[in-house]
Chains A and B, each alone.
Chain A
């Protein structure tokens, strides 16, 4: 083992190791997989200064309890969860030291679904076909359970106690869609109605996809019962047999026979997957060329993300250090720090098309 490990003392129901997924396995019938909210991995990589490809723990709606077997640096990103180290609240979307023997408690998500726990150097669980992402339904790996010991990669070191304003993708909103090979099977009236409808995130959803509900007529395509199965992708919006949209997620199947009205652009897919039941979602069709330009601009903006981190001067996790160095005047409470983090100004990173 190359470094300290993270011991899982308690795990929520759908906790798994995820990175950015695999490439080149679609022809075998295996989807790319990977984190439901890749931006959370990017934010963690920026906060910890490690590789974008690093694997992290993805936690669906519920966190867990963890112990460091040696000194670690951690980052908490994605759907905000109540977080505490040895009982002292720590802020979300930030990096913290987790020293050997310290206990990290992560509670329920306070908004969104998928929260991420990253360690400096990344998790070094077993890789399969080029990725550490597990996909239990496909027979690849299993969910995290209490008692698991997760090996951590060699940490090249770096700062902790840094925060980063999170783009809000946790409460639904407007989602960009590009047309696909079956969009034209839907008539103009249906496409217009789709773009004018406010959908509600349905409770039914997981890494395979998210179902949406709406008032009004079902959405149907011409000849939809006789469609030949074709390749399907994460982000595709299938109209299921009862005419409700189902947005495919990273663990979707590789082929499907339901008609697809379009594809959610990759940077907006977390808005669908992170939306909680009841959250409101609308779709707007955009030209593919525009969406591609926005995608490239967004990647360039992410390369500059490190400049947006800021020191967590009032992070209680740092208070013991600060006290020993006699740098602190007034002690703030954990709740204040938590409130500060959630109230931190939203930072628009060049996503110009909403």
Chain B
């Protein structure tokens, strides 16, 4: 059976028939996210032949290994050595990051659960909108659905739970909040997160040469606009950027 769950972190744990999970945290933690981001880049740079692909989650990295390449233990040893080789929590963020400034409408039909979410954070609606727009949020990971960014971290009062039930359907571009994070939906889907706003940004563009425009480590600053302004952007935007402004980060 597996070793006990992460008595020491980071830890290298078996996942599936032949893959490995490198876990840097079992709670949401900005440093662990930076560590995971840097570690995934380091595994990619190693280009080990048995590694099929890698992916990043909030505080962990999945390293997929081809089953027919035999002994999973060999990769375990290499991963453990790489984990031990440096202090990943002190790693720099990647170069080539971009800052996306994305217009968003909040509350009302664009964010039907804004008031409910603000109540849980003991905030007014206006203070909540200020929290979402005050400063850029970093893309902690892409996942769940294609291109879907998890953004963080919001101040501690926003450590609010997901709803116990599911909302049947939030629209493409919806912004929803829970556990000190904001997610932006790349397609219409059900969710347990509370929808507080909406953008005209397309985080997944299947017909584009760059189907997933965002990258982990990039930052997004939302700017508050009116519902009418959002409707106008949605009606005229052909790029999928939804009125976003993009600049390279130093």
Contacts and interface: CB of A to CB of B under 8 A. Distances in A.
A337 interface: no
A138 B145 contact: yes
A296 B64 CA distance: 17
A296 B145 contact: no
24 contacts: A25-B53, A26-B64, A27-B55, A27-B56, A28-B146, A29-B145, A138-B146, A139-B204, A139-B206, A178-B17, A179-B2, A180-B2, A184-B5, A230-B59, A231-B57, A254-B143, A254-B144, A263-B17, A288-B17, A288-B18, A288-B72, A291-B17, A295-B67, A295-B68
Interface string B130-158: 00000000000111111110100000000
A285 interface: yes
Interface in A246-287: 253-256, 263, 265-266, 285
Interface in B209-224: 211-212
Interface in B3-39: 3-5, 13-19, 21, 23, 25-28
A296 B187 contact: no
B67 A181 contact: no
Interface string A38-74: 0000000000000000000000000000000000000
Interface stretch (A79-87, A147-155, A167-175, A221-229): A221-229
A146 interface: no
B58 interface: yes
Given A29-B145, A29-B204, A292-B17, 10 more contacts: A26-B55, A29-B142, A29-B143, A30-B146, A138-B145, A180-B13, A228-B58, A255-B57, A292-B70, A292-B72
Contact of B1 (A225, A228, A285): A285
Given A139-B206, A253-B143, A228 B68 contact: no
A193 interface: no
A263 B62 CA distance: 15
The DSSP consensus for interface residues of chain B is: loop
B80 to A, nearest CB: 15
B199 interface: no
A185 interface: yes
B131 to A, nearest CB: 22
A129 B164 CA distance: 36
A206 interface: no
A270 to B, nearest CB: 15
A299 B68 contact: yes
A128 B206 contact: yes
Interface string A158-189: 00000000000000000000111111110000
Contacts of B211: 28, 129
A137 interface: yes
Contacts, number: 152
B60 interface: yes
A184 B55 contact: no
B173 interface: no
A343 interface: no
Nearest to A185: B5
A29 B17 contact: no
A184 B1 contact: yes
Contacts of A230: 21, 23, 57-60, 62
Interface in A16-30: 23-30
B145 A179 contact: no
Which of B15, B53, B70 has its CB near the most chain A CB atoms (within 10 A)? B15
Interface in A208-237: 225-231, 233, 235-236
B5 A181 contact: yes
A253 B40 CA distance: 20
Task: Give the size category of B's interface with A.
Answer: 35 or more
B64 to A, nearest CB: 7
A322 interface: no
Which of A178, A191, A231 has its CB near the most chain B CB atoms (within 10 A)? A231
Contacts of B13: 180-181
A230 B18 CA distance: 17
B92 to A, nearest CB: 20
Nearest to B20: A181
A180 B19 CA distance: 10
Given A29-B142, A29-B145, A253-B145, A233 B27 contact: no
Contacts of A228: 25-28, 57-60
B186 interface: yes
Given A28-B146, A29-B143, A184-B3, A178 B16 contact: yes
Which of A182, A228, A236 has its CB near the most chain B CB atoms (within 10 A)? A228
B147 A28 contact: yes
Contacts of B187: 137-139
A27 B54 contact: yes
A155 to B, nearest CB: 28
B189 interface: yes
Contacts of B17: 178, 263, 265-266, 288, 291-292, 295
